[in-house]
Amino acid sequence: MSAEPTESMNHRQVLEALSGLLLGLFVAVLSSTVVSNALPRILNDLHGGQAAYTWVITAALLSLTASTPIWGKLSDLVSKKLLVQVALVIYIVSSALAGLSQNTSELIACRVLQGIGAGGVTALAQICLASMVPPRERGRYSGYFGAVFALATIGGPLIGGVIVDTGWLGWRWCFYVGIPFSLVAILVLQRTLKLPVTRRKVKIDYLGSLLIAAAVSMLMIWISLAGQNYAWISWQTALMVPGGLLLAALFVLVESRAAEPIIPLSLFRYRTVSLAAIASALVGIGMYGATTFLSQYFQLAREKSPTMAGIMTLPMILGLAVSSTVAGRLITKYGKWKAFLVAGTFLLAVGFGLLGTVRDDTAYPMLALYMALTGIGLGLTMQNLVLAVQNTVPRKELGAASSAVTFFRTMGGAMGVTALGALLSNRVTHYLTGNLLAAHIDPAAAAAAGGGEIPDLHKLPRPLVPLVTDAFGHGVGEVFLVAAPFALLAFLVVLLIREVPLRSGHEEAPAKQPDLQLVKD
């Protein structure tokens, strides 16, 4: 074991050490948000449809999901600084390749690599913070993480929108733009991040990683294609669903026997870890769904440019930024965190429910209020679920436990976006066909107007445009309506978490705290 820090770091020292991590986190979040508003234009250029739209997002989420536990395990074994720098290099290479993509298949493959790099930065940033700051102070700095997350989420769509709206740049610069930030982050980390290194023999559970990625991928492929390429009740369903569940069962079996499992099953003997993992998966469904489909709503239901689509989502992002920062400071001051989780998941459910009522002609002030409530809910929830887990487990398991929460959040997000994307495609086609029939237009026009490729409203005959915007308005509304119950379930799960006041130092979690169940000594 490595020696722990002999003296605590002051605020300035922590900020200096976190500067490179926060810049890296900005880049990781930017990798998805800078693409969100540009995707309709990108896929229109590459001739991709709704399935490709969904997979450009979920490919990165899936690889992030599979790689996050590996990064977390490695952080318990080798240099955290080196790992963050390696993750940033992977991000740089994959971003350059993504910008050179000539078709949707190449773009999706590059997004897989981007997810691996972004997953490392996201997981390791939280782990490094836990190594430097005691739990009681962590809320304060988690607020900074939330603010950076919000800044990247605000800046990403705006940057992406401006890039695709600027003819001499083009959408490929949406991928190139993060490379300079990554290079700066590597240099800053080299100078400022100094953490003790644990030197042990590394044993990575590659089989477990492969099994969980295969299980999730098979279920995601089934969800995204069922009802379109084949019937829900079909031989494909009979093969994929049991196959995915069998792979998941094999993953659990492998993890129970692995010397260094990517997700130690012993973590789930902690009540807080188990409940936080479930809540994170449920929150992930809504979180990634909101950011993915709002851009489609503004561009395809309200005929806004990519730049304006980014601007119009500001109420949600500002709500996230303010709530996460304020909550972090209050948690540090009082040492209590459960009330914020309860309030956050409740507001998330309310926000999604209200967003479920939107249509293409919904008044923007009402829409802004709905987005603000959703953003506040996300800001109160995301970082604090990780904080609750970090306050529960022994210090030696911080890396694995922190990455486990991120793992379930991104897994929920990946599967949720896939399912919600399939739902959106189905409902848009349904409403568009109905609109065309009501207007006495051949429904075959739906393939050119939105049932096939992502439509370019500027290239459609004007009589078709209001029919398409109405269909997308209804479709996106139904997506949020379906997401609302998942947020409500997260609220009920969070109610069951037992609050343990945050520790004021680097000492271990109490051996007999009421939050533990059957924990080995």
Q: Which of 135-144, 182-191, 283-292, 309-318 has the lowest mean pLDDT?
A: 135-144
Q: Is the pLDDT of residue 253 over 60?
A: yes
Domain locations along the chain: 11-194+270-495, 205-218+230-251
Q: Residue 504 pLDDT > 60, yes or no?
A: no
196 token code pair: 């003790």
With a cut of 80, say whether residue 188 has pLDDT above it.
yes
CA distance 454 to 358: 21
Q: What are phi and psi of 201, to 5 degrees?
A: -70, 130
Residue type for 5, please? P
Per-residue pLDDT reduced to its tens digit, 63-86: 877 777 778 777 777 778 888 899
What pLDDT does 350 receive?
Answer: 95
Under 8 Å CB-to-CB from 166, ≥6 apart: which residues?
none
**Distance of alpha carbon 63 from alpha carbon 117, whole angstroms:** 9
Architecture of domain 11-194+270-495: Up-down Bundle (1.20)
Does residue 451 surpass a pLDDT of 50? no
User: What's the pLDDT at 485?
Assistant: 93
Structure-token pair, residue 109? 């493959």
Residue 518, pLDDT score: 37
416/174 Cα distance (integer angstroms)? 24
Average pLDDT value for the chain: 80
pLDDT bin (cut points 50, 70, 90) of residue 477 is: very high
For 396-415, the pLDDT digits (tens) are: 777 677 777 877 887 787 77
- Average pLDDT of the residues in 427-454: 72
Distance of CA 156 to the CA centre of its chain: 14
Model pLDDT for residues 125-183, shown as the tens digit of each residue? 878 887 777 766 766 677 677 678 767 766 777 788 888 888 778 888 889 988 998 99
What is the reported pLDDT for 227? 66
The per-residue pLDDT for range 21-46, each reduced to its tens digit, is 888 888 888 877 788 778 878 887 88
Does 519 or 355 have the greater pLDDT score?
A: 355
Q: Measured between alpha carbons, how far is 500 from 393 in angstroms, rounded to an integer?
A: 11
Which of the pair, 390 or 7, is modelled with greater confidence? 390
Q: Which two tokens stand for residue 47?
A: 């001739």
Q: Is the pLDDT of residue 366 over 90?
A: yes
% of the chain residues with pLDDT over 70: 86
